[in-house]
Amino acid sequence: MSERLRLMAVHAHPDDESSKGAATMVRYAKEGVEVLVVTLTGGERGSILNPAMDRPEILANIGEVRRKEMAEARAILGVEQEFSGFTDSGLPEGDPLPPLPEGCFALQPLETAAEPLVRSVRSFRPHVILTYDEQGGYPHPDHIMCNKVSVEAFEAAGDPGRYPGTGDPWQPLKLYYHVSFPPQRFEAIAAVLAERGMENPFPEWMQRMRDRDVPQWDITTRVTCDEYFDTRDRALIAHATQIDPNSFWFAVPNEIQGEAWPTEDYHLARSLVDTELPEVDLFAGVHEAVRT
């Protein structure tokens, strides 16, 4: 017999869990893995990005609305979810950039910001943790802080001398970064669309990504999960204030996406178990470690 496997995904805001690694979580949950999403902030400073939801009464209660959206998305994905209780930092815009709001998540001292996540790790006892890279996937201050607290929790939760009062020590075995939008994925989708004589909706977005010149992480792990792309999209659309169902993100049928690129992709950032790269399973090497 083996211990039941556990996967934790750490995200900055409600809706991030449905746009990054959602189909992966659905697959593992259906395979019997316990899956917990930890949402670090409530998304209180998020803008309304869906024109159909851009109403004053919604904006006035955006934090409460986003919690309800998160509950619906969680149920669609079939996972558990908890909030860490921090306040969204917002995305500063302008030149020069304005200061972040006092008391927001991104301004917390690292130990203050990481303590709730250490508590969650020690309570849930995940074998694998998913998070963002050092640039946050994109340079939102909460995403960057999400990386910092995830790495801190991975390294500290197993040490009985650190974060006293947050539960019994627990050491996760693997830490992954999402590689959510690799350019080669969009190139593969564009190739299939061209073969079928269909329009590619992504060229402008692809050019913006090239212009940003963001460092690309090597994909070490590809999890096949195209069977669950429809579920991913339903969870994403549940975040109605953030997602316009008529946007270009939904312009390519999931059948074509699955044909072109049937995986969600990750970079193995830390591992305390032996594994061979490339991987096709986030729990490669973990199965043997937890077998009793």
Binding-site entries for Zn(2+): 13, 16, 143
Residue 253 to residue 230: CA distance in whole angstroms: 10
Q: For the residues of 187-206, what is the DSSP string, one character each?
A: HHHHHHHHHTT---S-HHHH
DSSP state at residue 273: S
CA distances from 50 to 31, 46, 59 (A): 34, 12, 12
Pick the closest to residue 202 from 243, 169, 141, 248 (CA basis): 248
Residues tagged in the binding site annotation:
13, 16, 143
Q: How many of the other CB atoms lie within 10 Å of CB of 271?
A: 18
Strands 80-86 and 6-11, by their bridges, are unpaired
**Whether the bond into 96 is cis, omega within 30 of 0:** yes
Question: CA geometry: angle at 265 spanning 260 and 270, to 5°?
Answer: 165
Could you give the CA distance from residue 196 to residue 282 in angstroms, rounded to a whole number? Answer: 33
